[in-house]
Amino acid sequence: MKMTLRWFGSKHDTVTLGQIRQIPGCVGVITTLYDTKPGEVWSREAIRAMKEEIEAAGLELSGIESVNIHDDIKIGLPTREQYIANYIETLENLGKEGIDLVCYNFMPVFDWTRSDLAKERSDGSTVLSYDQELIDKIDPTKMFEELDANSGGFVLPGWEPDRLARVKELFEMYKEIDEEKLFQNLVYFLKAIMPTCEKYGIKMAIHMDDPAWSVFGLPRIVNNKGNIQRLLDAVPVMNNGLTLCTGSLGSSPHNDIPDMIRSFKGRIHFGHVRNVIHLAPGKFDEAAHLSSDGSLDMFEIMKAFHDIGMTGPIRPDHGRMIWGEKAMPGYGLYDRALGATYLLGLWEAIEKSAKK
């Protein structure tokens, strides 16, 4: 396992590479070309510049999160052919620069969804939270404005204004897309890109749907053990793999995460590790990483990663906002650094006990 942190680039992030470098045991960052739009070809030069900037700070570029997928691919429009060709070109350019991990998601219209980006807890920290009752009252086409108003001025990953300018139109386009169609479109996309991934050794790591159930009637296909296994079986090569996100899966108490980690051995290329507190069905708060602060057992989760011989990057996912920090919701330095250190501590204990 390699401990990493997500970084949004010097233009967008309040956290610097120098700060990340000082987190003990953190060897790399996960990032993206934040100014590109889904469907665009990434140039080799831009990829190289990003990589060089990170390496100059003494870190490695451990993977890309995300190369986003154009909605025409998800919907299965004839225009998907061009967007798939562009995606392949981007993968080739990444491969030529030695980058071998690409995280992506296949959620329609919205990426992750929350009802509150700064819910205050009793200790004064704030967290992201989700309440289905509140979401049900929101007009989905207004969702972006709601989130933007409470994002503290930061451009949230997955909620970029350009992408969301077309929200109404997108809802219309997804009308005919049910879970089966979305699944088939994902398989079509994966089959088309796999030869390139195999040639360059690129591991595609699909992110789980967050939350793990349908929101605004949009289909969800990467949300439980059966659905994920079906996807792995449909394109049965190592390069078709997962970003195992404990917080996304953990939004549903029905997901047994350590069991899923063990079952997907060999296909988990990237781990997002965080904790959630289940408040009621369809209602949860994010929490500190520590097991006792939430509903997930982080020891069991890290132990499962250890048992499957996880060698890929893991990053502490969303943290609380603490100590007065002003940063992108979920992505401040302080609580993620605490999370990284805690997860590394668990790992050391698990590793040493296993050797005894």
**Per CB under 6 A, 105 contacts ligand DNO:** yes
Verify whether residue 289 is a known catalytic residue.
no
Alpha helices in the chain (DSSP H): 17-21, 44-56, 71-75, 80-96, 132-136, 143-149, 161-164, 167-173, 179-200, 225-234, 246-249, 257-263, 298-307, 334-355
**Per CB under 6 A, 13 contacts ligand DNO:** no
Catalytic residue, candidates 87, 130, 174, 331: 331
**Per CB under 6 A, 313 contacts ligand DNO:** no
**Per CB under 6 A, 291 contacts ligand DNO:** no
Catalytic residue, candidates 130, 285, 318, 334: 318
**Per CB under 6 A, 71 contacts ligand DNO:** no
Residues near 233 by Cβ (< 8 Å), separated by ≥ 6?
none
Span between the terminal Cα atoms of the chain, in Å:
20
**Per CB under 6 A, 163 contacts ligand DNO:** no
**d(C-alpha 257, C-alpha 244), whole Å:** 9
**Per CB under 6 A, 144 contacts ligand DNO:** no
**Per CB under 6 A, 347 contacts ligand DNO:** no
**Per CB under 6 A, 207 contacts ligand DNO:** yes
Please state whether beta strands 126-131 and 203-207 pair in parallel, antiparallel, or not at all (unpaired). Answer: unpaired
Residues near 324 by Cβ (< 8 Å), separated by ≥ 6?
none
Q: How many CA atoms lie within 13 A of 3 on its CB side?
A: 22
Residues near 219 by Cβ (< 8 Å), separated by ≥ 6?
108, 174, 177, 178, 179, 181, 182
In the DSSP assignment, the letter for residue 179 is H
| Binds ligand DNO by CB under 6 A, chosen from 42, 112, 174, 334 | 112
Backbone angles phi, psi at 222, to 5 degrees: -125, 70
**Per CB under 6 A, 157 contacts ligand DNO:** yes
Q: Considering beta carbons, is residue 15 or 352 the nearer one to ligand DNO?
A: 15
# binding residues, ligand DNO (CB under 6 A): 13
Q: Considering beta carbons, is residue 50 or 103 the nearer one to ligand DNO?
A: 103
Verify whether residue 174 is a known catalytic residue.
no
Q: Considering beta carbons, is residue 187 or 350 the nearer one to ligand DNO?
A: 187
Verify whether residue 318 is a known catalytic residue.
yes
**Per CB under 6 A, 329 contacts ligand DNO:** no
Give me the sign of the Cα torsion angle 82, 110, 197, 186.
Answer: negative
Catalytic residue, candidates 209, 272, 289, 334: 272
Binding to ligand DNO in span 237-276, by CB under 6 A: 272
**Sheet (strand 116-120) strand order:** 116-120, 126-131, 283-286, 276-280
Q: Pull the structure tokens for residue 164.
A: 């969301």
**Per CB under 6 A, 111 contacts ligand DNO:** yes
Question: 248: closest CA among 68, 121, 106?
Answer: 106
Q: Pull the structure tokens for residue 226.
A: 């059966």
Verify whether residue 162 is a known catalytic residue.
no
**Min. distance of Cβ 192 from ligand DNO in angstroms?**
19
**Per CB under 6 A, 65 contacts ligand DNO:** yes
**Per CB under 6 A, 116 contacts ligand DNO:** no
| Binds ligand DNO by CB under 6 A, chosen from 87, 104, 144, 154 | 104
With beta carbons less than 8 A apart as the criterion, state whether 94 and 64 touch: yes
Piece of the chain touching ligand DNO by CB under 6 A; list 101-109, 172-180, 212-220, 276-284: 101-109
Q: Considering beta carbons, is residue 112 or 183 the nearer one to ligand DNO?
A: 112
Contacting positions for ligand DNO (CB under 6 A): 65-66, 103-105, 111-112, 157-158, 207, 272, 318, 330
Residues noted as catalytic: 207, 245, 272, 317-318, 331
